[in-house]
Chain A
């Protein structure tokens, strides 16, 4: 064991008390310091934490931001989300490749710079974007790619790439980011002024049961996508007998096309932390965890500073707001590049320092969550709403929206529209209105709720955003008339194949097969029988998968087969002579032709 590695690793492990549940933090730190987690490092960490080395290897190999092979000193991750691609990310990627003299997935020979792709980093409103280590760069072009490389060669510190700061807290010293908030429409509930402490003090004047009752009266439902009534979730969590409980804020925001939590975290951290504290009070938790996606690491220091300030102001810590016996603190858990970790049980696994595999249910988190304790996982926006309910009362909250869908919703709108950004609209706003707000009247299709949601066409633009028509976490991707929707479907499937945790068969294998099926059609080799084939396969994946990822990953195929069937029909044709159209003899012999040096006599 080399002494050098020991000298780096030992303090990192000691810092967290050689605690197995901190494995992800340890690995993130080792990755950061050493550029990778080598076999030697795996051995040492295993020894320090007193676990098997294969357990460590298992975690390293799960997260996209961890690697067993050393990365360059600087890692450039180009967002290859469909929206970024529509804005030219592929050209940008080629520019980086040619400037660095390497391909995607490679590191320059001097070991200085690595180049790779990453799924949506939550910057669709300022695409194409990339992460350079933790630094976000936006509105990229081939020119900026070239100058970035030149600057990094001169000085590897990526923070120097930020020339102009973004608006709002993006310009805060501890953020110093070029990200823009792009708040296009403020509503009364979320994007309004907030005085820290006001909501919390009101909540603490009530009993926890009354707080829950108010959240229920306000008819708040989860904003993370699933729409579960928040008051009920809190009630269940509170009802489980236990010494400890946890409130966990889901700030993983991994669904491609959503970036509204980014803006809440940047501009309304007090509102969020206040919502968490209120939730903690309601369910009887002393600790809250913010699970922050690795892509938003640039916000971490700032968020820590807000927490520190709140500690000083007595808004978290011992005797919160002077209430005896109410102790509550919040810590931030960083993710490491895995969409599945937004699924609440996978998120809990990840907080425990494990692979981000979802857990079997039951037990549900409200019964047995983080470290086996009852836990309530809530989305960032949900917790912000909860704080507003305390601030202004449940009646005020439910006066917005409709009976079954109370309140407002933040939408992240991107793609082929004139005004991409964040919109706070009343629940039950029609898609047509939304599109006209964003300047996308000519849209051919709107992807509501991200890849796992629904592709909706013009015939249904009169329908609304609410829990009865189109429930959504807020991702709204606009596709103009020039876009090939099957290409979009393909990009979404690539995403799911990449992000499936691989635990269960239908999702692990089925998504690959779905993607291949779409490729066959895109290649012009599809036949009419491929439509029912895809439909059945998609249904199997949807029905038999173990968690929400696999249960929704076939949606791009199913929703386009339903609403845009002609996109498929116009490409397929009956096979001739009983041949399989996707078998191409000249392709199949191409390698042999080049090895042997003779043309085929048959093809």
Chain B
């Protein structure tokens, strides 16, 4: 029987949650025994070619591309997990949610103290995905099955969660592993 597949992605995140996954240390070998990593920055597989058992999402949705990727994960993963505070509530990127988008772009591309932009134009390049009006928590865009809070979640949290799922058990975190920082 083939091993269950795991897919991971980082949307509007900092890769800290992925780092935390690597932080499970030598258990990563055990994990590699149990699962096969499918689409993931860890192995650089870019698109889905098979249904995955678990999808791990880092980061919230700040632009149209994030939404597209997240929807693809939802369609291709049986269980979808928001990993980390950014996926759960937007995190640091969501600090812009209280500021109008126009002002954000103006500051980032025109008025910011370190910006050199003589044309004073906000760039319009298809390579730069269009921003959403605010950063959305993943569960406000697609259905999410579990949330693993933390910034990043402790490696043990990720381990516990994956072990539970691979054993067909619901994820239930002990007190020490529910942390928002």
Contacts and interface: CB of A to CB of B under 8 A. Distances in A.
Interface of A: 575, 577-580, 582-583, 585, 587-593, 595-598, 600-603
Contact of A598 (B105, B126, B134, B142): B126
- Band of interface residues on B: 20 to 34
Nearest to B66: A602
Given A596-B124, A602-B67, A589 B140 contact: no
A419 B124 CA distance: 62
A601 B126 contact: yes
Contacts of A591: 101-102, 133
Contacts of B65: 602
A284 to B, nearest CB: 55
Nearest to B80: A578
B133 A590 contact: yes
Nearest to A588: B132
A590 B136 CA distance: 15
B130 A589 contact: yes
Contacts, number: 73
B5 interface: no
A578 B124 contact: no
B143 A583 contact: no
Contact of B132 (A575, A580, A592, A597): A592
B74 A579 contact: yes
Given A578-B74, A589-B132, A600 B143 contact: no
A601 B131 CA distance: 12
Across the A-B interface, the 8 shortest Cβ-Cβ residue pairs = A592-B130, A602-B64, A578-B74, A588-B132, A578-B143, A589-B130, A592-B131, A583-B141
Contact of B141 (A580, A589, A590, A596): A580
Interface of B: 64-65, 67-68, 71, 74-75, 80, 101-102, 105, 122-124, 126, 129-134, 136, 139-143
B53 to A, nearest CB: 15
10 contacts: A578-B75, A579-B142, A585-B64, A588-B64, A589-B132, A590-B133, A592-B132, A595-B105, A595-B122, A602-B64
Given A577-B71, A578-B142, A598-B124, 11 more contacts: A575-B143, A577-B74, A578-B75, A578-B143, A580-B140, A587-B133, A589-B130, A589-B131, A592-B105, A595-B105, A600-B64
A577 B75 contact: yes
A437 B140 CA distance: 50
Contacts of B129: 602
Contacts of B136: 583, 588
Contacts of A587: 133
A209 B86 CA distance: 68
B143 A589 contact: no
Nearest to A597: B124
Contacts of B102: 591, 595
Contacts of A579: 71, 74, 141-143
A580 B142 contact: yes
Given A591-B102, A596-B122, A598-B124, A580 B64 contact: no
A578 B77 CA distance: 11
B23 to A, nearest CB: 29
Contacts of A589: 64, 130-133
A601 B63 CA distance: 11
A587 B101 CA distance: 14
A596 B143 contact: no
A427 B132 CA distance: 58
Contacts of B75: 577-578
B101 A595 contact: yes
A587 B105 CA distance: 18
A600 B126 CA distance: 9
Contact of A583 (B68, B105, B140): B140
Contact of A602 (B68, B142, B143): B68
Contacts of B132: 588-589, 592
Contacts of B126: 598, 601
Contacts of A597: 124
Contacts of B80: 578
A592 B139 CA distance: 22
Contacts of A575: 143
Contacts of B141: 579-580, 583
